[in-house]
Amino acid sequence: MTVSGWEQLLFIVAVTAVAAPLLGRYLAATFRGGKAPGDRVFLPVERLVYRTLGVDPDSSWTWRSYALAVLAFGLLSTLLLYAILRLQGVLPGNPTHAPGMPPLLSFNTAVSFITGTNWQAYEGETQAGYLADTVGLVVAQFTAAGVGLAVALAVIRGIAGKSRTIGNFWSDLTRSLVRVFVPLSVIGALVMVSQGAVQNLTGFRTAATLAGGTQKIPGGLVASMEAIKLLGTNGGSYYGVGGAHPFENPTGFTNMFDLLFVIVLPFAIIFMFGRLIGRPRQGYALVAVMAIIFLAHTVLSMQAEHHGNHLLPASVSQAASGASPGGNMEGKETRFGPEGSALMTIGTMGTTAGATDSALDSYTPVGGTGAFIGILLGEISPGGDGGGLYSILVLALLAVFVAGLMVGRTPEFLGKKIQAPQMKLVVTYVLTIPTTVLIFAGISLVIPAGISSILNPGLHGLSEVTYAYASVANNNGSAFAGLAANTLWYNVTLGLAMLIGRFAPIVLSLAIAGSLAGTRVHARTKATLDTAGPTFMAFLLGVIVIVGGLIYFPILILGPIGERIIG
């Protein structure tokens, strides 16, 4: 890597290390109950919402009721978004004259945004009008993020709290939106506009180019969508090419800002967890494990893209210098260069955002492996807003259990005994997504409807298909975009994979929380396993690598690793 590549990485690490704990402190104060910062502004808004909804924000529910509310809200949101996408052609607010989306594409897109996946089988500029974008998709991006954080709060209460109930979905959702996602999005959007991201309602303008031709210049409510796309770890962009588009991600600075806007909040939620359970060290330990994985896949990919594509002729200069970015520049923008592109794109792959500023399909095999690692390890580096927390907690429970078996002691996490009912749920959780990915990808590779969508020949084509299912089942949504996914087979099966990948983990982690809610908290003794120490951190890392790595290893051998060896 070049010096400026390392400097950009260090910059990201340093800003995150300062901002995430501070934001975590704010979140903890906000969600602890009782007085919170900004009450004078936020409280009247929240009261108004509660009154409109007719709910008592202080009532606390069982996990079943909480899960039912999440499912009911998800179902209705999907139906509403489906209707908007189908009808956008006849609805007002459509200056670009986008026609209504066909049924299967609408299903896929609605599910995609409600689950926070933001897989985009449609073409941003032409198939989504202004109304569908802002009223349909942006609202879904807000609520998907709010639901994720709400579920994480409920899981924390169940795992660590003394009460048998785990909170109130409506108040968690409202508070998340009012005090976190909306204010931060407004600020973020304005920062992006200041650098050149567009925010207007003018539709296409036609320019007379210097050479005597014409060029259509797009407009749109881009920055407002970009902000919640990133902050909410959603990933769905206004334009088809996402963060590569100069109107979405105009400068090297916005490229770094975008990455920070994705990863700071998920890290902050882990710090919040440590504070809320009164054991900040536990938060630091989980953050450290996540950060190690983040650095591993990001550095791997930055290094590979810096080295470039060794299959190019030697006379095409891929050496980096002050006058040329060098490296693998296919599908990458000059202003970011290969390292800045890999840092941003692969840096978001351990979150459910999967926001990209470059074409993943054109990454080198090793560079693309960085994306696979982030996704296949289950989106815990640092994961989605909320999703990252409950995913790593489930893996921590698994690690505690395995460690308990090894030393012959009843496993305990945060003073609560982990027993058969919890472990059944944990194992189901861990197996659900890999099973979904491997079955759907396996079928796609043998039926014509699956194979015919592949763009690139050979082993790279296998990666396109596997990546698609791994990406959507983990609600990441990034793509090896060569795959022509707007087909009957892919719209339906990818839609199903997204639903399973979103709601199975939510229900299962709420169930785990429910089964632990109100159970006895045992006092710490000398014999208690320290789940915040370096030994446990290393052990947890091992469990994550073994669970994620071994399940998917065969498919990585056939995909990117094989491609690298043959090339």
Partner 1 sequence: MRPALFGRHMITSLVMLAVVTVVLGFGYPLVVTGLAQLVFHRQADGSLIYRNGKLAGSELLGQEFTDSKGNPLPQYFQPRPSAAGAGYDGSSSGATNLGPSNPLLIGFVPGVNTVGLNGQPSATNPFATKADPACVPVSPQGTPVTSPSPGQKYAKTAGGSYVCDPNTIPERAIAYRAFNQMAANAPVPVEAVTASGSGLDPDISVQNALDQAPRVARARHLPVQQVIALVHRHTQGRQWGFIGEPSVNVLELNLALDGSS
In 177-251, which residue ranges form alpha helices assigned H by DSSP? 182-195, 222-231
Q: What angle do CA 425, 540, 538 make, to 5 degrees?
A: 170
Euclidean distance between CA atoms 353 and 348, whole angstroms:
6
How far is Cα of residue 413 from the mean position of the Cα atoms in its chain? 26
Strand ranges for 115-180 from DSSP E: none
The distance of closest approach from Cβ of residue 333 to partner 1 in the complex, given in angstroms and rounded to an integer, is 5
Euclidean distance between CA atoms 520 and 313, whole angstroms:
67
Euclidean distance between CA atoms 399 and 410, whole angstroms:
13
Q: Could you say which of 59, 163, 202, 528 contacts partner 1 (CB under 8 A)?
A: 202
* Length of the chain (residues): 567
Closer CB to partner 1, residue 361 or residue 385? 361
Euclidean distance between CA atoms 125 and 193, whole angstroms:
19
The footprint of partner 1 on this chain (CB under 8 A) covers a number of residues equal to: 130
Q: Residue 56 CB: number of other CB atoms within 10 A?
A: 11
Q: Could you say which of 245, 297, 307, 502 contacts partner 1 (CB under 8 A)?
A: 245
Q: Which stretch binds partner 1 (CB under 8 A): 130-138, 261-269, 394-402, 498-506?
A: 130-138
Residue 65 interacts with partner 1 (CB under 8 A): yes or no: yes
Residue 452 interacts with partner 1 (CB under 8 A): yes or no: no
Residue 253 interacts with partner 1 (CB under 8 A): yes or no: yes
Closer CB to partner 1, residue 321 or residue 525? 321
Residue 482 interacts with partner 1 (CB under 8 A): yes or no: yes
Q: Could you say which of 34, 40, 92, 211 contacts partner 1 (CB under 8 A)?
A: 211
The distance of closest approach from Cβ of residue 18 to partner 1 in the complex, given in angstroms and rounded to an integer, is 17
Looking at the DSSP assignment, which residues form a beta bridge with residue 416? 413
Q: Which stretch binds partner 1 (CB under 8 A): 15-23, 321-329, 377-385, 488-496?
A: 321-329
Residue 82 interacts with partner 1 (CB under 8 A): yes or no: no
Closest by alpha carbon to 393, among 419, 417, 429, 436? 429
Residue 478 interacts with partner 1 (CB under 8 A): yes or no: no
Closer CB to partner 1, residue 136 or residue 161? 136
The distance of closest approach from Cβ of residue 514 to partner 1 in the complex, given in angstroms and rounded to an integer, is 13
Closest by alpha carbon to 351, among 145, 133, 76, 120? 145
Q: What angle do CA 563, 300, 370 make, to 5 degrees?
A: 60
Of 279-308, binders to partner 1 (CB under 8 A) are 308
Q: Which stretch binds partner 1 (CB under 8 A): 17-25, 49-57, 376-384, 499-507?
A: 49-57
Residue 72 interacts with partner 1 (CB under 8 A): yes or no: yes
Cα separation values, 328 from 21, 313, 565, Å: 35, 13, 18
Of 432-451, binders to partner 1 (CB under 8 A) are none
Euclidean distance between CA atoms 230 and 219, whole angstroms:
20
Each residue 150-189 as x (binds partner 1 by CB under 8 A) or -, in order, gives: --------------------x--x---x----x--xx--x
Closer CB to partner 1, residue 265 or residue 541? 265
Residue 138 interacts with partner 1 (CB under 8 A): yes or no: yes
The distance of closest approach from Cβ of residue 511 to partner 1 in the complex, given in angstroms and rounded to an integer, is 13
Of 335-394, binders to partner 1 (CB under 8 A) are 335-337, 340-341, 356-359, 361-365
Closer CB to partner 1, residue 208 or residue 407? 208
The distance of closest approach from Cβ of residue 334 to partner 1 in the complex, given in angstroms and rounded to an integer, is 4
CB-based burial, 283-308: b 16+ in 10 Å, e otherwise: bbbbbebbbebbebbbbbbbbbbbbb
Q: Residue 163 CB: number of other CB atoms within 10 A?
A: 11
The distance of closest approach from Cβ of residue 14 to partner 1 in the complex, given in angstroms and rounded to an integer, is 12
Q: Which residue has the tokens 């607010």?
A: 93
Q: Could you say which of 17, 22, 217, 546 contacts partner 1 (CB under 8 A)?
A: 217
Euclidean distance between CA atoms 297 and 372, whole angstroms:
9
The answer for residues whose C-beta is within 8 angstroms of residue 561's C-beta and 6 or more apart is 365, 369
Residue 195 interacts with partner 1 (CB under 8 A): yes or no: yes
Residue 540 interacts with partner 1 (CB under 8 A): yes or no: no
The distance of closest approach from Cβ of residue 31 to partner 1 in the complex, given in angstroms and rounded to an integer, is 19
Contact predicate 128/137, CB 8 Å: yes
The distance of closest approach from Cβ of residue 108 to partner 1 in the complex, given in angstroms and rounded to an integer, is 19
Q: Could you say which of 57, 89, 102, 219 contacts partner 1 (CB under 8 A)?
A: 219
Closer CB to partner 1, residue 93 or residue 554? 93
Closer CB to partner 1, residue 247 or residue 429? 247
DSSP code string of 389-419: HHHHHHHHHHHHHHHHHHHTS--EETTEE--
Q: Could you say which of 34, 213, 278, 448 contacts partner 1 (CB under 8 A)?
A: 213
Angle between helices 365-376 and 280-307 (to 10 degrees): 160
Structure tokens at 3: 């010096």
Which run of H or of E encompasses 208?
Answer: strand 205-208
Residue 490 interacts with partner 1 (CB under 8 A): yes or no: no
Closer CB to partner 1, residue 76 or residue 439? 76
Q: Could you say which of 17, 44, 47, 215 contacts partner 1 (CB under 8 A)?
A: 215
The distance of closest approach from Cβ of residue 481 to partner 1 in the complex, given in angstroms and rounded to an integer, is 5
Collapsing DSSP to helix, strand or coil, 311 comes out as coil
Residue 204 interacts with partner 1 (CB under 8 A): yes or no: yes
Q: Could you say which of 19, 43, 55, 402 contacts partner 1 (CB under 8 A)?
A: 55
Tell the burial category of 191 from Cβ atoms under 10 Å away from its Cβ (0-12, 13-18, 19+). Answer: middle
Residue 199 interacts with partner 1 (CB under 8 A): yes or no: yes
Euclidean distance between CA atoms 497 and 282, whole angstroms:
32
